[in-house]
Amino acid sequence: MSKKITVSKAIGEALHEEMVRDEKVFIMGEDMAVMGNVFAITKGFLEEFGPLRVIDTPISEEGFCGMAVGAAMRGLRPVVELMYNDFATVAADPILNQAAKMRYMTGGQCNIPMVLRCPMGSGRRNAGQHSQSLENFFCHFPGLKVIAPCTAKDAKGLIKAAIRDDDPVVSMEHKLLYAKKEEIPEEEYIIPLGVADVKREGKDLTIISWSREVNFSLEAAETLAKEGIDVEVLDLRTLVPLDWEAIKASVSKTHNVIIVSEEVKRGSYAGEISAQIAEELFDELDAPVERVCGLNIVSPFSPTLEDKNFPHPEDIVAAVKRVLNK
């Protein structure tokens, strides 16, 4: 049996089910309790679970992320939301220097079972400080695991796995996916971290992507199919740990690759994956790997300019044709 719900509802279900299952799980962030989250993800949670497990925080990201690290060290399982992933820069020390490194620096004596939920991405006219895609920022630091789902099913299954994981997990959630409705199973399920998903099979070229750009990649693949070009779309779902075996299998089949992400192209995680493919799968390639990413600019407030700031299906189509010399 299945049901059709939004991505935001699926995330809310994941949080609710895990809070019911394990009393050590609690959530906190700005406007998470009384307001029920700016995207209505935790509406009603305060009334059900009370103020000790659903916590409204001050506008102090460094403070409440530090609190979450301390709570995790004491055996609790905090799920923290940054209203926008951009604000992780304010909380860099507790996230990158404490949460990411504590398990290693204590010789495994101290785990940090913490989830950091990070709404990200362009398209809502939120301007430069509220529109970034910072997955490369988190992926750079050993000790953090990073997920970036594009569907309601994946979001629910991955977040449940993240909450149960004994390491800190960053959940990158594109804001424009929250309202997207999709079918998910009615029964409980978990999607393991580190397992990519082939969203569309093909033989001519592999598109590697994650989050919202997976949907754009699928649209591009349908357009290309009408012209006789058969594209495979590989949704990484988890960025760290990276499912290298899935990448290797797909590249070894199609021998052509583009990597699509919304992040700024310079210093992007797409560049890291591209480099790894070039280093380890060079003999499998018929052409250089191409990246299709956001522009190297501050995200504009202007709708016309912002819409040019991240890849659209037509940009992906053009990149595929360039790689295939079509």
User: φ and ψ at 266, to 5 degrees?
Assistant: -70, 125
Catalytic member of 18, 30, 130, 173: 130
Which 3 state secondary structure label does DSSP give 271? helix
Name all contacts of 299-308 with Cβ < 8 Å and 24+ positions apart: 299/122, 299/126, 299/127, 299/128, 299/131, 299/132, 300/127, 300/128, 301/125, 301/126, 301/127, 301/128, 303/125, 306/122, 306/123, 306/125, 306/131, 307/123
CA distance 150 to 155: 7
Tokens representing 103? 């398990």
Residue tagged 């060079």 (tokens): 282
Q: Are 281 and 248 in contact (CB under 8 A)?
A: yes
Out of 18, 61, 135, 213, pick the active-site residue.
61
Distance (Å, whole) CA 125 – CA 276? 34
Query: CA end-to-end span of the chain, whole Å?
Result: 43
- Is 112:70 a contact under the CB 8 Å cutoff? no
3-state secondary structure of 103: helix
- Residue 107's φ and ψ, nearest 5 degrees, are 65, 35
61 is catalytic: yes
Show which residues are catalytic. 61, 130
